Amino acid sequence: MTSTNIIEKSRAISTAAERLAVRCKGLVKLYSDVIAVNGLDLEVRAGECFGLLGPNGAGKTTTVEILEGLTAPDGGAVEVLGQAWGRGDDHALRERFGVALQETQFSEKLTVEETIRLFRSFYPRGRSVEEVIQTVELAEKRRARVGKLSGGQKQRLAVACALVSDPELLFLDEPTTGLDPQARLKLWEIVEEFRSRGGTVLLTTHYMEEAARLCDRVAIMDHGRVIALGTPLELIASLGADKIVEFSATGALDNESLANLAGVRSVHKRDGEYLLTVSDIGAALTALVAELKRERAELITLTTHQATLEDVFVSLTGRMLRDE
């Protein structure tokens, strides 16, 4: 990194408090008869990792592609790194952020190094190809053809091409979809390394663990709008409970009488399974057993777990994140 780069970077960090990396207001995007984005408001602070969490079709990708300047919105205002699209300086704006699209397939005949060098050539400033290859741990695959890489390696290559310009802001669209746990972990480490250098990240995901691990703040999206916003902990706390009880039983149970049990905050029913959001697990389980006995129902399965972002989504929409 050159010294001017360091100065610029530190300037970016010093202004982080008052500067927003991304801001959009009332964003709308229509596709023939589908409303993909429906009046979306979003603010991403410089230096944070912000997650858009939602099921497929929630409008995450459309939103990100509008922010990246690839898709023109039908309504609303967008500002990326303090600049709006289409004001004549798009070219300069594109030099300042990096992008990893959902499933980009690079040319299979080129090697890892050739691909990264090609992307490096588009930017007047940036990191060296060598440095980026080390960062994404593809040094051994440097001369391998892209077509021969595993899914995780391809995804790391995509991130490498986004990092090679040493961007202020990184857009990652479903960076770990379809990857095995180990490959996912590696990618998370790369994102964390980028953040430790002062970078801002906006990522979309439908993995709640990913959002919980990487993101400072999360916006839960559904049907083209934000339905909840906060830190992962805040969102989970908003359930007013930290445990979830899932069970199935013979016989029909009444939702309302379940909700009135001691320690139970809310009830959701889905595919014959009951989901109880519980604030006091001891009291709730005792009451549940009594209720089952009273209704002459027999327990088939019962599990409990800590509340997660997934449960937040379920309690907001009544659906699972990966249902659709």
Partner 1 sequence: MSEAQKDSIQNINESTSNVKQSARGASQSIAQRSSERFHPLVELTLARVRDFLREPEAVFWVFIFPVILTVALGIAFRNTAPEKNRVAIESSSVNDVKAAELARSISQSPDLQAVVMSSEEAAQALRTGRVALIVRGQGSGIGDQGDASAAPHSTSAEVNAELSSAADSLPPAFDYRYDPTRPESRTARLAVDDALQRAFGRKDVVSAREVTQTEPGARYIDWLIPGLVGLNLMGSGMWGLGFAVVYARMRKLLKRFAATPMRRSHYLFSFMLSRLIFLVLEVAAIIGFAWIAFSVAVHGSLINLLIIAVVGGLMFSGIGLLVASRPKTIEGVSGLMNLAMVPMWLLSGTFFSYTRFPEVLQPFIKALPLTALNDSLRAVMSDGAALQSTWMHLSIMLAWGLVSFALALKLFRWQ
Nearer to partner 1 by C-beta: 91 or 296?
A: 91
Nearer to partner 1 by C-beta: 79 or 114?
A: 114
Q: Which residues bind partner 1 (CB under 8 A)?
A: 68-70, 91-92, 94-95, 99, 101, 103-107, 109-110, 113-114, 117-123, 128-130, 133, 142-143, 145, 161, 165
For the CB of residue 70, give the shortest distance to partner 1 in the complex, in Å: 6
For the CB of residue 121, give the shortest distance to partner 1 in the complex, in Å: 4
For the CB of residue 97, give the shortest distance to partner 1 in the complex, in Å: 8
Nearer to partner 1 by C-beta: 118 or 229?
A: 118
For the CB of residue 30, give the shortest distance to partner 1 in the complex, in Å: 17
Nearer to partner 1 by C-beta: 10 or 105?
A: 105
Helical ranges in the chain per DSSP H: 3-14, 60-67, 90-94, 112-120, 129-135, 151-163, 181-196, 208-214, 232-237, 255-259, 281-295, 309-317
For the CB of residue 117, give the shortest distance to partner 1 in the complex, in Å: 6
- In degrees to the nearest 10, what's the CA dihedral of 110, 113, 115, 119? -160
- How far apart CA 37 and CA 60 sit, in angstroms, is 8
Cα Rg of the chain, angstroms: 23
Nearer to partner 1 by C-beta: 126 or 152?
A: 126
For the CB of residue 310, give the shortest distance to partner 1 in the complex, in Å: 29
Confirm if 29 and 71 have CB atoms less than 8 A apart.
yes
- Vertex 251: Cα angle to 250 and 255 (nearest 5): 110
Backbone angles phi, psi at 63, to 5 degrees: -60, -50
For the CB of residue 214, give the shortest distance to partner 1 in the complex, in Å: 21
- How far apart CA 274 and CA 269 sit, in angstroms, is 5
Question: Could you tell me how many residues make up the chain?
Answer: 324
- How far apart CA 73 and CA 63 sit, in angstroms, is 9
Nearer to partner 1 by C-beta: 130 or 323?
A: 130
Nearest Cα to Cα of residue 197 among 114, 132, 120: 132
Nearer to partner 1 by C-beta: 90 or 254?
A: 90
Place of tokens 């008052």: 18
